[in-house]
Amino acid sequence: MNAFQSFRSYEEFIYTLRHRYDAIVSSTLILVRRGKRTAVLQGELLFEKGFRLSVRERLTWERDAVLIESYGYELWHHEEKISWYDSQPHPDELTLVSSFPHHKHVQPNIRSNRVPAPDMSFFQPNLPALIQEIELFIKQS
């Protein structure tokens, strides 16, 4: 999927996710503009069987494209955090070089256990990959 040309087109994408993914039960996602070139996306997507995705993205609009400046995504099953993704750089961790700075925190020891996250990007929406990951969890449960 290519970068969006405006915040309006990104909003349309966000607010129609439920129509494209049957596993989404509800959404509290909201895009809040913080000026002409900055916005924040935050909220949750709720899924079947107690799964949810907590979302926070800081977005910028540059050269007719919406870019993700930073993000944090948390995958939950009921009250248990399954994993989380973030774009905080860890330049000294050689195992993360392949997808720098994108990485995922996983069990066990979720705070310190990081793996590369090659599906994450600043230049295209990350939500489709995250939704597909949760859909797999739903099928396996």
pLDDT of residue 92: 83
- Joined tokens for residue 131: 């939704």
d(C-alpha 58, C-alpha 76), whole Å: 21
pLDDT tens digit string along 74-127? 999 999 999 999 999 887 888 889 999 999 999 999 998 999 999 999 999 999
pTM: 0.93
Reported confidence tier of residue 1, pLDDT bands at 50, 70, 90: very low
The average pLDDT across 1-19 equals 88
Rounded to whole angstroms, what are the CA distances from 65 to 86, 99, 126?
21, 22, 15
Whether 130 and 56 have beta carbons less than 8 Å apart is answered as no
Tell me, letter by letter, the H, E, C secondary structure of 30-92. EEEECCCCEEEEEEEEEEHHHEEEEEEEEEEEECCEEEEEEEEEEEEECCEEEEEEECCCCCC
The average pLDDT across 10-37 equals 95
pLDDT tens digit string along 28-46? 999 999 999 999 999 999 9
pLDDT of residue 63: 82
